[in-house]
Structure 1
Amino acid sequence: MKICSIVLTAALLSAQSFASSVPSQPHLYVQGNAHMQVQPDRAVIRVAITEKSKSLSDAKKRVDDIMENAISIARNHKIKSDNIHAEQLNVYRQTRYNRTTNQDEFDGFRVSRSLTLKLEQIESYPVLLQKLVDAGINEFNNTQFEVSNKSALMKSLKKVAIKDAKLAAKELASDFDVKLDGLYSVSFSPMEIPRAPYARAASMKLMDSESGSVENAYNTGVLTLKAQVYAVYTINN
């Protein structure tokens, strides 16, 4: 797992009237930015079954049977009951315009149900998809790939961003032959300062990934997690 950290911006501002964000005395405005590329280890899969028939009971039975089979497949892939969410039945009465009679005519019932699955063993993702198709699932809305320990990773990223913001402030102070007096304010959201800050680039490798992979036909790629921190330092000569 690589963590690349880029300190994008720092600005040396003279005293201005931004009392809520910056002091009236000379100061540095620094942004630390860290990002990490990780291999996802779980997926949220959203699928559905849609059937159309002039017989509502026939369409409903077909949808219910396929949904029951899909849920059984999910359980066989060790998806917990709490991670299986089958929506209620949706029924739409459809009509079709007849140009000869200039009237809308009954065209059948459209019956559908949606299913959301949270798969925690991502290596079985390709096989699960194929089994759902074989079972009759005919709509794949989207799949959201996630990393299970995101909270811990984001905490590490924020620490890296803070470290890089501190390094940027020290470097910029050295370049302008001034001294850092102290930290005035810090935020994980941009401050309302109408100046384009100074950019500095850096990178570091902190750790290697031990995440697994999925079959080549369904390569999930990587996710990029990002963290930013904004800090204002007062300075003196």
Structure 2
Amino acid sequence: MKLLSALLWSSLLATMAPSAWAQANTIPSQPHLLVKGEGARTVMPDRFAVELLVKSTDLQPDTARSRVQGNVDAVLSAFKRNHALPESVVADNLTIQPDYRYSVQGKQEYLGTRVSRRLKGSFGTTGDLQAFLRAVDASDDLQISSMRPGYSREAALRGELKAEAATQTRASAKHLATAYGARIAGLYSISDVAPNFAYGVQAGSWPRGGDMVTPPNPPAPAQTSIETTGARARESIEAGPITYTENVYAIFLISDGT
């Protein structure tokens, strides 16, 4: 019976319309319980993304374009040689615009036409990423703008965590209702956005064990940094674990258990 209930609940989550997950800033007039569920998982990254900016400014637009294209070709070749995941390699369209600078006197001076293009790709190991960085000659015209780790199953994992959090809200509501001699009469709303009703409780400030309600703190950033050491990030690259968290907030209608 428990397995059947779990399957039914999972089916409900899978088929629920997107609007059902949106925050509803209304509360029912009848007795109800507002509960929060949380699912969290820490994983090791298996994707390592890098983004580059290739640019050049010249009074002759075609000269600037040729320089940019030469650097783009070099980067794309380095992606291929160092086993970048083919589906992850993306080269944006050329951006062309006038380039200016301000003189000491505060006057705007025309420098020429600025041509730029962004490229990005991902690797399956830090070793491949490091080899790619060694192969790229970074300069003012070819800049590494960002590096970040990721997880190939992130979308599926977030779905699993959301389902776990939703199941947790149901269990919490049942325990609370039983403790007060009530029973669950039905689900009124469910959302992955924290409610901001007249309860005085917002995201990040849900009290525990009689704690006083305090204003919410900003959410802690996910631990998704790639630590680099050495000149131009070429000497060592280490990636730490990533923690994914999903919260679900549900309102259950209750009735007298007698």
Change (3 A) 1:97 1:214: closer
2:167 paired residue number: 163
Of the candidates 23, 28, 43, which is equivalent to residue 22 of structure 1? Answer: 28
**Which of the two has greater strand per residue?**
1
Q: 2:130·2:237 contact (CA, 8 Å) conserved in 1?
A: yes
Q: 1:184·1:234 contact (CA, 8 Å) conserved in 2?
A: no
- 2:201 pairs with 1:221: no
Q: 1:48·1:141 contact (CA, 8 Å) conserved in 2?
A: yes
Of the candidates 49, 59, 78, which is equivalent to residue 54 of structure 2? Answer: 49
Aligned pairs (5 A) from 1:1-237: 21-22=27-28, 24=30, 26-95=31-100, 106-133=110-137, 138-175=142-179, 177-189=180-192, 190-191=194-195, 193-196=197-200, 199-200=207-208, 217-231=236-250, 232-237=252-257
- 3-state SS, counterpart of residue 180 of structure 1: strand
Report the TM-score, using the length of structure 1 for normalisation. 0.67
Where structure 2 has 5 or more consecutive residues not aligned to the other structure, the ranges are 1-23, 210-225, 230-235
Q: 1:181·1:236 contact (CA, 8 Å) conserved in 2?
A: no
Where structure 1 has 5 or more consecutive residues not aligned to the other structure, the ranges are 1-17, 202-212
Distance 2:82 2:25 in 1: 57
Residues 55-99 of structure 1 deviation map (CA, whole Å, 9 limit, x = unaligned): 444433222111101101111223354432222333444455678
Residues 168-197 of structure 1 deviation map (CA, whole Å, 9 limit, x = unaligned): 22443354x323233332412345632146
Residues 27-51 of structure 1 deviation map (CA, whole Å, 9 limit, x = unaligned): 2211112222222211332211223
RMSD between superposed Cα atoms in Å: 3.7
Q: CA deviation at 1:121?
A: 4.1
Q: CA deviation at 1:157?
A: 1.2
- How many residue pairs were aligned? 206
Report the TM-score, using the length of structure 2 for normalisation. 0.63
Higher relative contact order (CA 8 A, sep 6+): 1
Residues 184-215 of structure 1 deviation map (CA, whole Å, 9 limit, x = unaligned): 324123456321466458xxxxxxxxxxx998
User: What is the one-letter code of the residue matched to 2:114?
Assistant: R
Change (3 A) 1:99 1:221: closer
Percent identity of paired positions between Structure 1 and Structure 2: 20
Distance 1:97 1:168 in 2: 62
- 3-state SS, counterpart of residue 66 of structure 1: helix
Bigger Cα displacement from structure 2, 166-175 vs 40-49: 166-175
Q: CA deviation at 1:105?
A: 5.5
Change (3 A) 1:230 1:57: closer
Distance 2:84 2:174 in 1: 50
User: What is the one-letter code of the residue matched to 2:171?
Assistant: L
Look at both structures and tell me which one has the larger radius of gyration over its CA atoms.
1
